[in-house]
Amino acid sequence: MTEKTRVHLCGATLICPECAEGVRNLPPTDMAPGYARPDFSHHDGSTLCPVFSHGFASHLSGRMPAAPVAFLPVTAVPRT
C-alpha cells in the first residue's frame, strides 16, 4: 500500500468550528420534531454548537447549528 492510499492519511476530518469536536455524518438525536434536521452532529449525537446568522444572503436568520468544517492535519500535507 502506498503512502497516498493509506486510510486517513490524506483525508480531512470534519470538526465543529465552535468547539473543535469531531463530527459525524448523521442527524442529531436531540432535535425537536418539526424543525429541519441538520445532516451532521457531534459524536455523542448532540446538535452542533449554535451560531448566529444575520441572514443577509438568505432567508435564514437567528440561532442555528454550525456547519462543520474540514480539518486537515499539517502532517498530511505533502512538502515540496
- What pTM, to 2 d.p., does this model score? 0.67
Distance (Å, rounded) from C-alpha 24 to C-alpha 21? 10
Residue 10 scores a pLDDT above 60: no
Assess contact for 5 and 18: CB atoms under 8 A. no
pLDDT computed for residue 4 by the predictor: 45
CA distances from 71 to 31, 36, 75 (A): 25, 26, 12
pLDDT digits (tens, 9 = 90+) for 30-80: 876 656 788 899 999 999 998 887 666 556 567 788 999 988 777 766 777
